[in-house]
Protein backbone atom coordinates (compact mmCIF):
# COMPACT_ATOMS: atom_id res chain seq x y z
CA UNK A 1 0.00 0.00 0.00
CA UNK A 2 1.44 3.37 -1.06
CA UNK A 3 0.47 5.61 1.85
CA UNK A 4 2.17 8.65 0.34
CA UNK A 5 0.09 8.29 -2.83
CA UNK A 6 -3.05 8.10 -0.69
CA UNK A 7 -1.87 11.24 1.11
CA UNK A 8 -1.36 13.09 -2.19
CA UNK A 9 -4.78 11.99 -3.42
CA UNK A 10 -6.45 13.22 -0.24
CA UNK A 11 -4.67 16.58 -0.39
CA UNK A 12 -5.69 16.97 -4.03
CA UNK A 13 -9.32 16.33 -3.04
CA UNK A 14 -9.08 18.84 -0.20
CA UNK A 15 -9.80 16.08 2.30
CA UNK A 16 -8.23 16.52 5.77
CA UNK A 17 -5.93 13.67 6.79
CA UNK A 18 -3.16 13.01 9.32
CA UNK A 19 0.07 11.24 8.40
CA UNK A 20 1.70 9.20 11.18
CA UNK A 21 5.29 8.08 10.57
CA UNK A 22 7.62 5.98 12.70
CA UNK A 23 10.76 8.14 12.81
CA UNK A 24 12.94 6.38 15.37
CA UNK A 25 13.11 3.03 17.14
CA UNK A 26 15.30 1.30 19.68
CA UNK A 27 15.34 -2.35 20.54
CA UNK A 28 12.58 -4.78 19.63
CA UNK A 29 9.55 -3.04 18.03
CA UNK A 30 6.80 -4.20 15.63
CA UNK A 31 7.57 -1.62 12.90
CA UNK A 32 10.73 0.32 12.12
CA UNK A 33 11.50 3.86 10.93
CA UNK A 34 9.59 4.79 7.80
CA UNK A 35 6.42 2.84 8.58
CA UNK A 36 3.40 5.03 7.88
CA UNK A 37 -0.29 5.25 8.68
CA UNK A 38 -2.76 7.70 7.12
CA UNK A 39 -5.71 8.63 9.35
CA UNK A 40 -8.99 10.08 8.08
CA UNK A 41 -11.35 12.34 10.01
CA UNK A 42 -13.92 9.59 10.51
CA UNK A 43 -11.31 7.45 12.29
CA UNK A 44 -10.54 4.88 9.61
CA UNK A 45 -6.94 4.55 8.43
CA UNK A 46 -4.64 3.00 5.85
CA UNK A 47 -1.24 1.55 6.66
CA UNK A 48 0.09 0.77 10.11
CA UNK A 49 2.65 1.94 12.65
CA UNK A 50 2.72 -1.39 14.45
CA UNK A 51 -0.75 -2.31 15.60
CA UNK A 52 -1.73 -2.98 19.19
CA UNK A 53 -1.74 -0.37 21.93
CA UNK A 54 0.88 1.83 20.25
CA UNK A 55 -1.35 2.18 17.22
CA UNK A 56 -4.41 2.85 19.39
CA UNK A 57 -2.60 5.69 21.15
CA UNK A 58 -1.24 7.15 17.91
CA UNK A 59 -4.72 7.02 16.39
CA UNK A 60 -6.17 8.94 19.35
CA UNK A 61 -3.49 11.62 19.00
CA UNK A 62 -4.08 11.81 15.25
CA UNK A 63 -7.80 12.41 15.76
CA UNK A 64 -6.98 15.14 18.28
CA UNK A 65 -4.72 16.84 15.75
CA UNK A 66 -7.68 17.28 13.38
CA UNK A 67 -9.02 19.78 15.92
CA UNK A 68 -5.91 21.65 17.04
CA UNK A 69 -3.80 21.37 13.87
CA UNK A 70 -0.67 20.57 15.88
CA UNK A 71 2.13 18.19 14.91
CA UNK A 72 3.23 15.71 17.56
CA UNK A 73 6.32 13.68 18.41
CA UNK A 74 5.11 10.66 20.38
CA UNK A 75 7.54 8.34 22.14
CA UNK A 76 6.34 5.07 23.64
CA UNK A 77 8.20 2.56 25.78
CA UNK A 78 7.26 -1.04 25.06
CA UNK A 79 8.62 -2.79 28.12
CA UNK A 80 6.16 -3.07 31.01
CA UNK A 81 2.40 -2.59 30.39
CA UNK A 82 1.78 -2.72 34.14
CA UNK A 83 3.49 0.65 34.50
CA UNK A 84 1.53 2.09 31.56
CA UNK A 85 3.82 1.21 28.68
CA UNK A 86 2.25 0.66 25.26
CA UNK A 87 3.57 -2.87 24.78
CA UNK A 88 5.85 -5.65 25.90
CA UNK A 89 8.24 -6.05 22.93
CA UNK A 90 11.09 -4.49 24.86
CA UNK A 91 11.89 -1.49 22.68
CA UNK A 92 11.07 2.21 22.22
CA UNK A 93 9.28 3.78 19.26
CA UNK A 94 8.86 7.42 18.25
CA UNK A 95 6.07 8.46 15.88
CA UNK A 96 5.66 11.83 14.15
CA UNK A 97 2.04 12.90 13.69
CA UNK A 98 1.48 15.51 10.97
CA UNK A 99 -1.97 16.90 10.09
CA UNK A 100 -2.82 17.99 6.56
CA UNK A 101 -5.96 20.03 7.09
CA UNK A 102 -8.22 21.57 4.51
CA UNK A 103 -8.19 25.32 4.06
CA UNK A 104 -10.74 27.18 6.16
CA UNK A 105 -13.83 27.69 4.04
CA UNK A 106 -15.96 30.79 3.62
CA UNK A 107 -19.42 30.04 2.25
CA UNK A 108 -21.01 33.16 0.80
CA UNK A 109 -24.78 32.77 0.56
CA UNK A 110 -26.04 35.44 -1.78
CA UNK A 111 -24.35 36.39 -5.05
CA UNK A 112 -25.50 40.00 -5.08
CA UNK A 113 -23.69 43.32 -4.81
CA UNK A 114 -22.13 42.50 -1.41
CA UNK A 115 -21.51 38.83 -2.08
CA UNK A 116 -19.28 39.44 -5.08
CA UNK A 117 -16.56 41.46 -3.29
CA UNK A 118 -16.66 39.06 -0.32
CA UNK A 119 -15.87 36.17 -2.66
CA UNK A 120 -13.00 38.12 -4.21
CA UNK A 121 -11.55 39.22 -0.86
CA UNK A 122 -11.91 35.84 0.86
CA UNK A 123 -10.11 34.12 -2.01
CA UNK A 124 -7.34 36.73 -1.97
CA UNK A 125 -6.92 36.12 1.78
CA UNK A 126 -6.32 32.42 1.21
CA UNK A 127 -9.67 30.88 2.14
CA UNK A 128 -11.45 28.22 0.18
CA UNK A 129 -14.54 29.97 -1.13
CA UNK A 130 -17.97 28.59 -1.91
CA UNK A 131 -20.74 30.77 -3.29
CA UNK A 132 -24.37 29.71 -3.13
CA UNK A 133 -27.56 31.33 -4.40
CA UNK A 134 -30.86 29.83 -5.48
CA UNK A 135 -30.83 32.27 -8.38
CA UNK A 136 -28.82 30.04 -10.69
CA UNK A 137 -28.14 32.82 -13.18
CA UNK A 138 -26.10 34.70 -10.55
CA UNK A 139 -24.29 31.68 -9.12
CA UNK A 140 -21.77 31.26 -11.93
CA UNK A 141 -18.07 32.02 -12.48
CA UNK A 142 -19.05 34.65 -15.03
CA UNK A 143 -21.34 36.59 -12.67
CA UNK A 144 -19.42 35.98 -9.44
CA UNK A 145 -15.81 35.15 -10.32
CA UNK A 146 -13.21 33.74 -7.97
CA UNK A 147 -14.98 30.99 -6.03
CA UNK A 148 -13.77 27.41 -5.79
CA UNK A 149 -17.28 25.98 -5.92
CA UNK A 150 -20.71 27.21 -7.05
CA UNK A 151 -23.90 25.84 -5.50
CA UNK A 152 -27.07 27.15 -7.18
CA UNK A 153 -29.33 25.67 -4.51
CA UNK A 154 -31.55 26.68 -1.61
CA UNK A 155 -29.77 27.70 1.58
CA UNK A 156 -31.40 24.81 3.44
CA UNK A 157 -29.76 22.33 1.03
CA UNK A 158 -26.19 23.47 1.68
CA UNK A 159 -25.52 20.98 4.54
CA UNK A 160 -26.58 18.17 2.19
CA UNK A 161 -23.93 19.18 -0.35
CA UNK A 162 -21.00 20.17 1.86
CA UNK A 163 -19.32 19.10 5.09
CA UNK A 164 -19.76 22.02 7.49
CA UNK A 165 -17.32 21.86 10.39
CA UNK A 166 -15.27 23.98 12.79
CA UNK A 167 -13.29 25.41 9.85
CA UNK A 168 -16.36 26.67 7.99
CA UNK A 169 -17.55 30.29 8.07
CA UNK A 170 -21.05 31.12 6.85
CA UNK A 171 -21.63 34.59 5.41
CA UNK A 172 -25.30 35.23 4.71
CA UNK A 173 -25.75 38.24 2.44
CA UNK A 174 -29.06 37.19 0.94
CA UNK A 175 -31.73 39.23 -0.80
CA UNK A 176 -34.23 39.18 2.07
CA UNK A 177 -35.39 37.97 5.46
CA UNK A 178 -37.67 35.28 4.07
CA UNK A 179 -34.70 33.55 2.46
CA UNK A 180 -32.91 33.60 5.84
CA UNK A 181 -35.94 32.38 7.78
CA UNK A 182 -36.35 29.37 5.52
CA UNK A 183 -32.67 28.50 5.30
CA UNK A 184 -31.23 29.20 8.74
CA UNK A 185 -32.68 26.21 10.66
CA UNK A 186 -30.63 23.75 8.57
CA UNK A 187 -27.45 25.79 9.09
CA UNK A 188 -28.03 26.10 12.84
CA UNK A 189 -28.07 22.32 13.01
CA UNK A 190 -24.34 22.24 12.17
CA UNK A 191 -21.15 22.84 14.20
CA UNK A 192 -19.83 25.83 12.27
CA UNK A 193 -18.13 28.43 14.52
CA UNK A 194 -19.47 31.49 12.70
CA UNK A 195 -22.78 32.43 11.09
CA UNK A 196 -22.95 36.07 10.07
CA UNK A 197 -26.13 37.66 8.75
CA UNK A 198 -26.45 40.96 6.92
CA UNK A 199 -29.42 43.26 7.40
CA UNK A 200 -30.96 46.09 9.36
CA UNK A 201 -32.03 45.85 13.01
CA UNK A 202 -35.65 45.65 11.89
CA UNK A 203 -34.91 42.79 9.49
CA UNK A 204 -32.97 40.94 12.18
CA UNK A 205 -35.77 41.40 14.73
CA UNK A 206 -38.29 40.02 12.24
CA UNK A 207 -36.02 37.09 11.44
CA UNK A 208 -35.57 36.21 15.12
CA UNK A 209 -39.31 36.33 15.71
CA UNK A 210 -40.05 33.98 12.83
CA UNK A 211 -37.27 31.57 13.81
CA UNK A 212 -38.70 31.34 17.33
CA UNK A 213 -42.10 30.58 15.82
CA UNK A 214 -40.45 27.73 13.89
CA UNK A 215 -39.25 26.24 17.17
CA UNK A 216 -35.62 27.37 16.97
CA UNK A 217 -34.31 27.96 20.47
CA UNK A 218 -33.08 31.32 21.71
CA UNK A 219 -29.69 29.74 22.41
CA UNK A 220 -29.38 28.58 18.80
CA UNK A 221 -30.40 31.98 17.45
CA UNK A 222 -27.74 33.63 19.60
CA UNK A 223 -25.11 31.83 17.50
CA UNK A 224 -25.94 34.17 14.63
CA UNK A 225 -23.89 37.38 14.39
CA UNK A 226 -26.06 40.23 13.16
CA UNK A 227 -25.21 42.85 12.11
CA UNK A 228 -22.35 41.09 10.38
CA UNK A 229 -18.81 42.50 10.31
CA UNK A 230 -16.82 44.82 12.54
CA UNK A 231 -17.96 48.43 12.77
CA UNK A 232 -15.88 50.62 10.45
CA UNK A 233 -18.63 52.94 9.18
CA UNK A 234 -18.75 50.80 6.02
CA UNK A 235 -21.10 51.97 3.28
CA UNK A 236 -20.05 50.54 -0.10
CA UNK A 237 -20.16 46.79 -0.92
CA UNK A 238 -16.36 46.70 -0.94
CA UNK A 239 -16.15 48.35 2.48
CA UNK A 240 -18.78 45.96 3.86
CA UNK A 241 -16.78 43.02 2.49
CA UNK A 242 -13.68 44.29 4.31
CA UNK A 243 -15.57 44.60 7.59
CA UNK A 244 -16.96 41.06 7.24
CA UNK A 245 -13.66 39.43 6.38
CA UNK A 246 -11.91 41.33 9.18
CA UNK A 247 -14.39 39.81 11.62
CA UNK A 248 -13.87 36.31 10.21
CA UNK A 249 -10.07 36.66 10.38
CA UNK A 250 -10.34 37.80 13.99
CA UNK A 251 -12.57 34.83 14.84
CA UNK A 252 -10.34 32.35 13.01
CA UNK A 253 -7.13 33.59 14.65
CA UNK A 254 -8.68 33.52 18.11
CA UNK A 255 -9.74 29.90 17.54
CA UNK A 256 -6.17 28.99 16.49
CA UNK A 257 -4.78 30.56 19.67
CA UNK A 258 -7.34 28.65 21.75
CA UNK A 259 -6.29 25.33 20.26
CA UNK A 260 -2.60 26.18 20.66
CA UNK A 261 -3.15 26.80 24.39
CA UNK A 262 -5.22 23.65 24.83
Quick: pLDDT tens for 9-52. 888 777 889 999 999 888 776 678 898 999 998 889 999 887 77
Pairing of strands 149-151, 168-172: unpaired
CA pair distance 250, 176, nearest whole angstrom: 27
Q: Is the pLDDT of residue 255 over 80?
A: no
Q: Are 136 and 73 in contact (CB under 8 A)?
A: no
Q: Is the pLDDT of residue 67 over 90?
A: no
* Whether the model pTM is above 0.85: no
CB atoms within 10 A of CB 110: 27
Residue 88's pLDDT band, with cuts at 50, 70 and 90, is: low
The pLDDT of residue 166 is: 85
Q: Which domains, and CATH codes, for the chain?
A: 3-100 (no CATH), 105-261 (3.40.50.720)
- pLDDT (average), residues 147-151: 95
Which tens digits make up the pLDDT trace of 182-216?
A: 999 999 999 899 999 999 999 999 999 999 999 99
Q: Is the pLDDT of residue 80 over 90?
A: no
CA pair distance 211, 194, nearest whole angstrom: 18
Buried b (16+ CB within 10 A) or exposed e, 28-61: ebbbeeebbbbbbbeeebbbbbbeeebbeebbeb
Cis peptide before 31 (omega within 30 of 0): no
Q: Are 252 and 169 in contact (CB under 8 A)?
A: yes
User: Which spans in the chain are helix H?
Assistant: 3-13, 52-68, 115-124, 158-161, 177-188, 201-213, 218-221, 237-261
CB atoms within 10 A of CB 156: 15
CB atoms within 10 A of CB 3: 18
The pLDDT of residue 49 is: 83
Could you write out the DSSP letters of every residue in 67-94? Answer: HH---EEEEEE-S-GGGT-S-SSS-EEE
Amino acid sequence: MDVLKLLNDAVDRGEPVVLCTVVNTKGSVPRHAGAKMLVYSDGHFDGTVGGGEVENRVLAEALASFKDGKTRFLTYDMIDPERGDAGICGGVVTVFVEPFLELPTVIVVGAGHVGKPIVHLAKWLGFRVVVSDDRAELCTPEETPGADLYLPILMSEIPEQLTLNERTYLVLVTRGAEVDIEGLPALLDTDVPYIGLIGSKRRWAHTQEKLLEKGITKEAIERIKSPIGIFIHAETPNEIAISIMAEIIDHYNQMKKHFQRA
